[in-house]
Amino acid sequence: MKHGGDLTEAIARHGGDPGSWLDLSTGINPWPWPIPQHLPERAWQCLPSRAESEALLWAARKAYGAPGGAGIAAAAGTQALIQLLPYLAAPGPVAIVGPTYSEHALAWRSAGHPVIAIDDLAVCPPDAAHAVVVNPNNPDGRVTDRAALTRIATQLKERGGWLVVDEAFADVDPAISAVALCPDWPIVILRSFGKFYGLAGLRLGFAVGAPDTIERIAAALGPWPCSGPALLIGTAALGDQAWADHTRSKLEQQARKLDKVLANAGFAIAGGTLLFRLARHPHASRLHAALAQRHIWCRSFDWADDLLRFGLPSDAAGLDRLAAALSD
Amino acid sequence: MKHGGDLTEAIARHGGDPGSWLDLSTGINPWPWPIPQHLPERAWQCLPSRAESEALLWAARKAYGAPGGAGIAAAAGTQALIQLLPYLAAPGPVAIVGPTYSEHALAWRSAGHPVIAIDDLAVCPPDAAHAVVVNPNNPDGRVTDRAALTRIATQLKERGGWLVVDEAFADVDPAISAVALCPDWPIVILRSFGKFYGLAGLRLGFAVGAPDTIERIAAALGPWPCSGPALLIGTAALGDQAWADHTRSKLEQQARKLDKVLANAGFAIAGGTLLFRLARHPHASRLHAALAQRHIWCRSFDWADDLLRFGLPSDAAGLDRLAAALSD
């Protein structure tokens, strides 16, 4: 299983249909921002206008606390930006702090950059032209602090390289964000809309960085990278501060409940964010298979046979179903 | 005005709001495929599944008549593919048949390819590694026949290059399509969903070509390039043959009516497709300004001061409004 969130393979192997599975394989908020029943027809029919794009970028800038001197660009999901950045980056090796979301290494390698796997940003080798860190990291939730980011950004600036900071899960704790470091350093920050706002199918993500870098990214994305619905829904949701605050505390409560279920089943919580929990168990592989037979889908990892990652069940019934399956 | 379909600039200059303008600046079908009132929530909330992606590609393959040996990939609009192809293409100059949609030249130039402007595919110079032709062409509707495409594809194959055929407006006359030439030639065909289906805001487009080329394109796009709504709506609309047939004849009738309005106002029809008409008038620039003052927006061109392009008004009132404004 390369990614979470795709039950196609699980269903092929274990039967059932998407509705009957308890899908805990993603880090997507199970309580999405409430999209309006009716979107205006022009959102579907017309090419997004410049005015609509600017409204979205303005809302994102505010939600993410991007300083005035930083640039910001929108894409059809941060994945589109992950794919693009290696083609725009100067030639040279990239150091990627891992284990982490595997698509970063894939994308840089595909674009011809040698990839150096490191386990801490502090040990970034001198021959790396670029560095990538997911912050907080997926799946362990590890946070790289701003001093460490600044240190490596200073080095990469001398080498003409970029520090890519993937803040896909930073919405749950905005204090983690390094947006304040733009535009002084060659930092490109990626922000995912779909995870925290629970609307991964919408495909919306952002890059924040120095204006000249962001201009190059926007030019390479070309006109109309985002759908009309993404522009309208993104603008409204990113402006909904009350929903964001309420959601953070709701996620916190549910994450604590999930931790308790996992602890009761003999797991040790090994990390995570409020959108997923990483848990250790000596029989993790066996438990993953047993849960799948009961149509509960979580993430396993090819680099660790004692770890599983669980997204948040959306309700008490989901928590109970997981608890019951784990106690079988 | 670089593109059609964005009233932001027109409104800034002439006032009004999007609803009060008669926007004839695009080549988008004014009668969109009817999207369902309620999309399933998972289309917004979940990452699109492999099963959903495969269903879309299957529907597109059938609608576009792609032969079994061809590959097909979906993106968030053909614009995303126009942006991407130059980064994947072998180094070397590209010959672009023009005047045409200006984004092709922009994208190839941005990715470092010298651009050679040619006015007919038959005069493609021997130093061009790649060629791009929009077929039927925008804005003049000129059709390049399959023999001419095969001839140049044969030459480019020897040079390791690509022939990109942008069939953005081929849905109105499927006989034009060169999909049958894949997979024998290094041809990449671009198909736009939003124009013929009247859903440009959805952002959906396709590349059809030799399987190895399409595999590279799909890998560079990465996972989940299209939104959940685009997958569901695209699959349903592309499978709706009755709607497509009915729409073609409806567009044909409206295009004839538009031609009559333009001819009555002293324009000579210079070309176009069933989704837009290109019309010549000695005072085209003055008429463009006069129409804008009456909040009617059509396309003008920086390379010809006697040409205007008109999209189809959606109803008789729109035709009458245009006729009245032109007779003022």
**Are A147 and A216 in a shared domain?**
yes
**Are B260 and B318 in a shared domain?**
yes
**Are B157 and B261 in a shared domain?**
no
Distance CA B177, CA B165 (A): 9
Whether A3 is covered by a domain: the verdict is no
Q: Do the chains contact at B225 and A35, CB–CB below 8 Å?
A: no
Residue B60's CATH number: 3.40.640.10
Distance CA B134, CA A119 (A): 49
Instruction: Nearest chain B residue to A228 by CA: give it.
Output: B201
- How much is the average pLDDT of A92-121? 97
**B258: number of CA atoms within 13 Å, CB side?**
26
Q: Examine the fold and report which residue of B205, B239, B273 is the final residue of a domain before the chain moves on.
A: B239
Residue B239: φ, ψ to 5°: -85, 0
Locate tokens 């030249």: which residue? B105
| pTM exceeds 0.90, yes or no | yes
Asked if the model's pLDDT at residue B1 lies above 50, the reply is: no
Nearest to B165 by CA among B193, B194, B139, B145: B145
How would residue A8 be classed by pLDDT, with cut points 50, 70 and 90?
confident
Residue B190: φ, ψ to 5°: -105, 130
**Are A284 and A177 in a shared domain?**
no
Percent of chain A's residues with pLDDT above 90 = 94
Asked if the model's pLDDT at residue B2 lies above 70, the reply is: no
Q: Say which amino acid occupies A94.
A: V
Distance CA B252, CA B273 (A): 9
Say if CB B103 and CB B138 are below 8 A apart. Answer: no
Whether A85 is covered by a domain: the verdict is yes
A290 interfacial to chain B (CB closer than 8 Å): no
Domain span at residue B109 reads 42-239
Say if CB B86 and CB B111 are below 8 A apart. Answer: yes
Interacting residues of A37 by C-beta distance below 8 A, sequence separation 6+: B38
Whether A184 is covered by a domain: the verdict is yes
Q: Do the chains contact at A201 and B228, CB–CB below 8 Å?
A: yes
**Are A270 and A122 in a shared domain?**
no
Asked if the model's pLDDT at residue B178 lies above 50, the reply is: yes
- Taking only the tens place, the pLDDT of each residue in B185-230 is 999 999 999 999 999 999 999 999 999 999 999 999 999 999 999 9
**Are A181 and A261 in a shared domain?**
no
Say if CB B274 and CB B261 are below 8 A apart. Answer: no
**Are B225 and B271 in a shared domain?**
no
Interacting residues of A166 by C-beta distance below 8 A, sequence separation 6+: A78, A82, A101, A104, A132, A133, A134, A135, A190
Q: What mean pLDDT is reported for chain A?
A: 96
Locate tokens 């729409």: which residue? B247
**Are B108 and B209 in a shared domain?**
yes
What is the pairing mode between strands B130-134 and B94-97?
Answer: parallel
How would residue B5 be classed by pLDDT, with cut points 50, 70 and 90?
low
User: Which of helix, strand or coil describes residue B215?
Assistant: helix
B214 interfacial to chain A (CB closer than 8 Å): no
How would residue A19 be classed by pLDDT, with cut points 50, 70 and 90?
confident
Percent of chain B's residues with pLDDT above 70 = 98
Whether B318 is covered by a domain: the verdict is yes
Nearest to A249 by CA among A278, A271, A269, A274: A274
Other Cβ atoms within 10 Å of B243 Cβ, number: 16
Residue A288's CATH number: 3.90.1150.10
A44 interfacial to chain B (CB closer than 8 Å): yes
Interacting residues of B284 by C-beta distance below 8 A, sequence separation 6+: B300, B304, B305, B306, B307, B308
A223 interfacial to chain B (CB closer than 8 Å): yes
**Are A138 and A179 in a shared domain?**
yes
Portion 112-141 of B in contact with A at CB < 8 A: none
Distance CA A60, CA A236 (A): 10
Whether B86 is covered by a domain: the verdict is yes
Locate tokens 């950059």: which residue? A113
- Taking only the tens place, the pLDDT of each residue in B32-46 is 999 998 899 999 999
**Are A17 and A85 in a shared domain?**
no
The structure tokens listed for A14 are 């274990």
A24 interfacial to chain B (CB closer than 8 Å): no
How would residue B4 be classed by pLDDT, with cut points 50, 70 and 90?
low
Q: Examine the fold and report which residue of A191, A222, A239 is the final residue of a domain before the chain moves on.
A: A239
Min Cα distance A147 → chain B (Å) is 32
Please write down the HEC assignment for all residues of A242-309: HHHHHHHHHHHHHHHHHHHHHHHCCCEEEEEECCEEEEECCCHHHHHHHHHHCCEECEEECCEEEEEE
Asked if the model's pLDDT at residue A1 lies above 50, the reply is: no
Whether B2 is covered by a domain: the verdict is no
Q: Examine the fold and report which residue of A239, A264, A288 is the final residue of a domain before the chain moves on.
A: A239
Interacting residues of B2 by C-beta distance below 8 A, sequence separation 6+: B102
Percent of chain B's residues with pLDDT above 90 = 94
- How much is the average pLDDT of A29-46? 94
Say if CB A274 and CB A251 are below 8 A apart. Answer: yes
Q: Which helix (H) or strand (E) holds A187?
A: strand A187-192
Nearest to A171 by CA among A274, A255, A71: A274
Domain total of chain B? 2
- Taking only the tens place, the pLDDT of each residue in B122-157 is 999 999 999 999 999 999 999 999 999 999 999 999
- Taking only the tens place, the pLDDT of each residue in B291-309 is 999 999 999 999 999 999 9
Whether A2 is covered by a domain: the verdict is no
**Are B191 and B263 in a shared domain?**
no
B83 interfacial to chain A (CB closer than 8 Å): yes
Min Cα distance B149 → chain A (Å) is 27
- Taking only the tens place, the pLDDT of each residue in A233-287 is 999 999 999 999 999 999 999 999 999 999 999 999 999 999 999 999 999 999 9
Say if CB B30 and CB B276 are below 8 A apart. Answer: no
Whether B1 is covered by a domain: the verdict is no
Distance CA A7, CA A299 (A): 11
Asked if the model's pLDDT at residue A4 lies above 70, the reply is: no
**Are A59 and A182 in a shared domain?**
yes
Chain A contact probe: residue of B227, B232, B235, B275 with most A CBs at under 10 A: B227
